[in-house]
Copies of this chain bind each other. A is one copy, B any other.
Amino acid sequence: MENFEFNVPTKIIFGKDVVNETGKHSRNFGKKLLMVYGTGSIKKNGTYDKVIKSLKKENLEIVEFSGVKSNPVLSHAKKGIRIAKDNKVDFILAVGGGSVIDEAKGIAAGALYDGDIWDFYTEDVKIKAALPIVVVLTIPATSSEMNSISVISNEETKRKAGFSSPFFYPAVSILDPTVTYTIPPDYTAYAAADAVAHLLEGYFTHSDQWSPIQDRYVEGLVKTIMECTEKIMKNPADYEGRATIMWASTLAWNGLCVAGLRDAEGPSHMLSHTLGAFFDTPHGAALTIIIPNWMSYMKNKYRKNFIQFAENIFNIKTGDDDLTLELGIIALKEWFKKIKCPVTLGEAGIKNPDLEMMAKNVLITAKAWNIKGYDEKMIVDIFRECL
């Protein structure tokens, strides 16, 4: 086990109808808030009304800022920062999924910063202060509600950049499974795929000979998320299924699954971010395209881990390690297909991509995340496997 630090101070409020307690859990952070949300689904499904009612009950002053898109963009975050500053809000309330939370984090830092927040994302400038962040989670997928990461895209430079700051832990995250009943099937699937991808990054890439805590943690959660996905695809209002996938997705990327793992990296996210930046591919869909093809390319390097994956997640035991490994990759791809996620670039509507330019973009992320061992040719080859 490698040395590590673990410190996740976020308070989780989990359960049926806790969305109605948003005001109660927000009032400690001030009187005036910027409510950040997306493009309107919370108005259709009733979450907006519940949140507003709960905030008003506590006499909180609400400044609204909507229109966050599913790959949140820098220009929009900057608008939010302007509004937060002009209105002198005390804290940020994010009502949405990972995109909304990630942009809200950028706004929280930007509201107390005179420079360009893109410096935080790309120039290793450290955040020195941020407004408190409260979250009402509506799409469980990224764990942004319980981690210190924010990912934002710069439309001009086609760069999707993510980083971590201790100021980005939400103070409180409200996880109410009932608000997730109306997530449409495609985003339910993308969300599940994203959570599974988070768990698998470190599981696939670590170099430990023995890591039973982290391995079993990952295997348990991956199997659980897969079971939940089947349940909620059948019945979108299955409370136990929605609740279980919500908590499992939060636990999938709050740092526990990689704490102590040696050499754990995030290559699938590194590669997928370029698809998001170039083609606006939903993050979960980008991952389902990348992961099985990346696995095929990397099967010698991560042989031991891939075999364990096949055996322990999909219960594949053939007695022939090569065959087991191959069947594991196929089983994952088949699961992605079963939940109707794309596994090729073509299926995501991406035609004739410029693989060299994409590879150059990936290498910028590789450098920022300190992921070694990838060169342009290799990345082109991996993307070619995705065609």
Q: Which residues of A contact B (CB under 8 A)?
A: 1-16, 18, 177, 210, 212-213, 216-217, 219-221, 223-224, 227, 240, 243-244, 247-248, 251, 256, 259-260
Contact = CB atoms under 8 A, between A and B. Distances in A.
Contacts of A15: 1-4, 260
Copies of this polypeptide in the complex: 2
B1 A6 contact: no
Contacts of A11: 5-7
Residue of A213, A219, A223, A248 ringed by the most chain B CB atoms within 10 A: A213
Contacts of A247: 1, 213, 259-260
B13 A10 contact: no
A148 to B, nearest CB: 13
Contacts of A6: 11-12, 14
Residue of A3, A221, A240, A248 ringed by the most chain B CB atoms within 10 A: A3
Contacts of A212: 220, 223-224, 227, 244
Contacts of A221: 213, 216
Residue of A6, A240, A251 ringed by the most chain B CB atoms within 10 A: A6
A306 B177 CA distance: 29
A312 to B, nearest CB: 11
A224 to B, nearest CB: 4
A224 B220 contact: no
Contacts of A13: 5
